[in-house]
Amino acid sequence: QVQLVESGGGLVKPGGSLRLSCAASGFTFSDYYMSWIRQAPGKGLELVSYISSSSSYANYADSGKGRFTISRDNAKNSLYLQMNSLRAEDTAVYYCARVGWVAAVFFDYWGQGTLVSVSS
Amino acid sequence: EIVLTQSPGTLSLSPGERSTLSCRASQSVSSNYLAWYQQKPGQAPRLLIYGASSRATGIPDRFSGSGSGTDFTLTISRLEPEDFAVYYCQQYGSSPLTFGGGTKVEIK
């Protein structure tokens, strides 16, 4: 069965950095686009970024452009999100999610999320 | 950017009742690329519907999606206790991808 397990969240000071990881199993990772979606406490969902299966293309929400970098290692079945210059408003649960179809970016499987808290 | 407005914000219903949730887009959603997700407290969202009306794998047939253009609906024909949750719509027809603000279905 498809499993996505995030790690790397935690408490970080404003201006700090964090690298999130997502370990995937139960499907051919290299065949799928992958994404990061976040949810601030008590709020709705926001797409952060997604990346193509071969890493040739990445898309970012305006909120993370220039600060966040998505990447993947198909040999390790892993997805990453490097987050720099973190702000209080980046505080959220970050979900790793599989994109259902190429060029039809809905999310058919989600991990349980990892909490990122940005506070001094 | 396409803004998705979900209504009502909260729906109070009893088990066995029919539930109708609305998702209205500020512009037409290309190719009816509209998905619905269910989220229970402390859990990740789960895909219910994609392409406005196609059920995802393992989703019971009491869940159905309909609509086109700017108006979409998620219907739960008979609410089961496990269906009380928050529901989000998401459009993927144009960039940036956007989510609606959610509808909470609570027990009356």
**Alpha helix locations (H) across chain A?**
none
Shortest CA gap A51–chain B (Å): 14
Contact, A22 vs A38, CB < 8 A? no
Contact A45 B92 (CB under 8 A): no
Token pair recorded at residue A13: 């000071």
The minimal CB distance from A45 to the residues B33, B96, B99 is found for B99
The minimal CB distance from B99 to the residues A46, A104, A112 is found for A46
The label of the residue with tokens 């994609």 reads B50
pLDDT digits (tens, 9 = 90+) for A69-96: 999 999 999 999 999 999 999 999 999 9
pLDDT at B24: 98
Token pair recorded at residue A96: 């790793």
**Sites in chain B below the pLDDT cut of 50:** none
CB neighbour list of residue A75: distance below 8 Å, 6 or more residues apart? none
Contact A107 B47 (CB under 8 A): yes
Q: List the end-to-end C-alpha distance of chain A, in Å, as a whole number.
A: 40
Contact A44 B45 (CB under 8 A): no
Contact A107 B37 (CB under 8 A): yes
Contact, B16 vs B82, CB < 8 A? no
pLDDT digits (tens, 9 = 90+) for A13-62: 999 999 999 999 999 999 999 999 999 999 999 999 999 999 999 999 99
CA distance linking residue A73 with residue B88, whole number of Å: 30
pLDDT at A38: 98
Residue A103 pLDDT > 90, yes or no? no
Residue A9 pLDDT > 90, yes or no? yes
